[in-house]
Amino acid sequence: MPEPSSLQDTRNQTEAPLLGAIEAGGTKYVCAVARDPKEPLLEARFPTGEPHETVSQALEFFRKAAAAHGTIRSLGIGTFGPARIDPVAADFGTILTTPKPGWSGFPLVAALRQELGTDLPVTFETDVNAAALGESLHGAAKGIRRVAYVTIGTGIGGGFLEDGRLLHGRLHPEIGHFAVPDLDAAFGKATQVCPFHDSCLEGRASGPAIAARWGKPGHELPDDHPAWELEADYLAIACQQLTAAWSPDLVLLGGGVSQKSGLVERVREAFLRRAGGYWDLPPVHDYIRLPALDQQAGIVGSLILAARAL
Ligand code: ZN
């Protein structure tokens, strides 16, 4: 359900440059300005609609914010993907092929700069990388060197951070499309909601996959429903793949689905069983954890990106 737009003024800050940020999610946009990324001065959230309408709402917010707090000196954006985040690419700042109506090929950074200033310093990142950054500086991953942040919600994505640096690869990681074995058959099911792949993590374990498989959304399924044993096992496979491919110090499980009571404990059990004692890892309750910033990780991370753009 769309959340009503809200504007909240928090406390006054002076001195440091004014930072602007957008957590550009697939279902909602969060906009904020701050001088200290931990303490947004003004924040607004609204549903992600078609691109021109969504961008005008964001610009309207930044106009009001600038009138109240001064000139915005830089912008940090954590966007849903896929997106061209490489700053030297000709189409930097563009949303790539997506099923979201109107967004494929939309030049988000250019559209914002048109109004906010063509020379405004901008850092454009994935929303999961922004959340990883937020957790790393101010949340559950504070002081930890190599962090994998996995979000499980409408889609599944992963952000990666090593010694403060976000990892990208050629485009950016998309662990939602990790290949996974078919664990559905043992439950007499055959759910796979990704239209591109026969059996991928997002197709099997995202919020929409849970709803399609069991006929109701996850938050309506009781804690002891078999749905959670299956979900935990798919997520444990993802943790094993991350461990094998990259060897992080910490795996954070974020997003709406991860909030399910008891799920992270089940993932840890399934992970230990699947890992077979092969890896030298921290204790599992330290290795696989829930984020600390909850819904704020993405916008705090995007404000840190804005600070880095300066
Ligand atoms: Zn897929």
Distance 203 CA to ligand 1 centre (A): 6
User: Is residue 1 scored above 50 in pLDDT?
Assistant: no
Residues 155-160 have a mean pLDDT of 94
Distance 278 CA to ligand 1 centre (A): 28
Tokens 């947004």 correspond to 40
Q: What is the pTM of this model?
A: 0.90
CATH of domain 4-129+295-309: 3.30.420.40
Q: 139-149, pLDDT tens digit by residue?
A: 999 999 999 99
Distance 245 CA to ligand 1 centre (A): 18
User: Is residue 13 scored above 70 in pLDDT?
Assistant: no
Distance 152 CA to ligand 1 centre (A): 14
Write down how long the chain is. Answer: 310
Distance 116 CA to ligand 1 centre (A): 36
Q: 58-88, pLDDT tens digit by residue?
A: 999 999 999 999 999 999 999 998 999 999 9
| pLDDT band for position 137 (cuts 50, 70, 90) | very high
Distance 45 CA to ligand 1 centre (A): 29
The amino acid occupying position 31 is C
User: Which has the minimum average pLDDT: 6-20, 27-41, 102-116, 240-254?
Assistant: 6-20
Sheet-wide strand order for 288-289 = 165-166, 156-162, 146-152, 250-254, 288-289
Per the rule left: phi > 0, alpha: psi between -120 and 50, beta: everything else, 15 is: left
Q: Which H or E element spans position 274? A: helix 263-275
Distance 191 CA to ligand 1 centre (A): 12
User: Is residue 130 scored above 80 in pLDDT?
Assistant: yes
- What is the per-residue burial (b if ≥16 Cβ within 10 Å, else e) of 18-31? bbbbbbbbbebbbb
Q: What are phi and psi of 122, to 5 degrees?
A: -130, 135
Q: CA–CA separation, 73 vs 307, rounded Å?
A: 9
CATH 3.30.420.40 in the chain is located at 4-129+295-309, 143-291
CATH of domain 143-291: 3.30.420.40
Res 10: pLDDT: 46
Residues 158-177 have a mean pLDDT of 94
Distance 303 CA to ligand 1 centre (A): 30
Distance 182 CA to ligand 1 centre (A): 13
Percentage with pLDDT > 90 across the chain: 90
Distance 15 CA to ligand 1 centre (A): 46
Residues 199-211 have a mean pLDDT of 97
Distance 237 CA to ligand 1 centre (A): 15
Distance 196 CA to ligand 1 centre (A): 5
